[in-house]
């Protein structure tokens, strides 16, 4: 399974915004710069997240975006499911499959997708956006990169 670029960017937007202080907001140009991404792409994703009620915006001199809810209320599986859409992993109709209604592949893939979302739902935006947690997760997977991350964090 491969996530859409839109979903990847959406997760990154939420992670940046989750790291803001409670009274802080971020503008679209600042967000695009932090993500090293086109402001047009960031705007498209952020506007959708405002419509979904995940982000709130304020205009004016101290305007910008912030999370609409506490970061621990955003379940990662639910976020990914919403951003990805609920499209089936395979389409038995295009091109027409000779095994249509005679195999269990589509059902098996649907079950696997649900397990994927359930696994992601073990984590919240708060847990994945926390820099200390991210470094400790990396330590379990890639010890040399996590140590470098800890050195960078200590000098910051």
Which two tokens mark 150? 């800890």
pTM for the predicted model, two decimal places: 0.79
**Taking the CB of residue 156, how many other CB atoms lie within 10 A of it?**
6
Per-10-residue mean pLDDT, the chain, length 156:
91 96 93 94 96 94 92 96 88 83 86 94 94 56 53 51
- Asked if omega into 146 is within 30° of 0 (cis), the reply is no
What per-residue confidence (pLDDT) applies to 28?
95
The b-or-e profile of 69-88 (16+ CB within 10 A means b, else e) is eebeebbbbebbbebbeeee
For residue 25, which phi and psi values (nearest 5 degrees)? -130, 160
C-alpha span between 147 and 136 (Å, rounded): 9
pLDDT at 142: 58
Q: How many residues does the chain have?
A: 156
Domains of the chain: 5-130 (1.10.10.10)
Per-residue pLDDT at 140? 54
């Amino acid at each position: 399974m491969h996530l859409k670029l839109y979903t990847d960017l959406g997760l990154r937007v939420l992670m940046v915004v989750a790291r803001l202080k409670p009274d802080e907001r971020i503008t679209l140009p600042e967000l695009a710069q932090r993500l090293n991404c086109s402001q047009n792409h960031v705007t498209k994703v952020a506007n959708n997240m405002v419509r979904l009620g995940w982000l709130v915006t304020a205009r004016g001199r101290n305007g910008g975006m912030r999370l609409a809810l506490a970061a621990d209320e955003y379940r990662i599986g639910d976020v990914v499911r919403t951003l990805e859409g609920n499209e089936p992993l395979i389409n038995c109709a295009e091109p027409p499959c000779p095994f249509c209604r005679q195999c269990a592949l589509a059902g098996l893939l649907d079950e696997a997708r649900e397990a994927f979302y359930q696994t992601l739902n073990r984590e919240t935006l708060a847990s994945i956006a926390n820099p200390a947690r991210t470094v400790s997760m990396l330590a379990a997977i890639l010890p040399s990169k996590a140590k470098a991350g800890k050195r960078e964090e200590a000098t910051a």
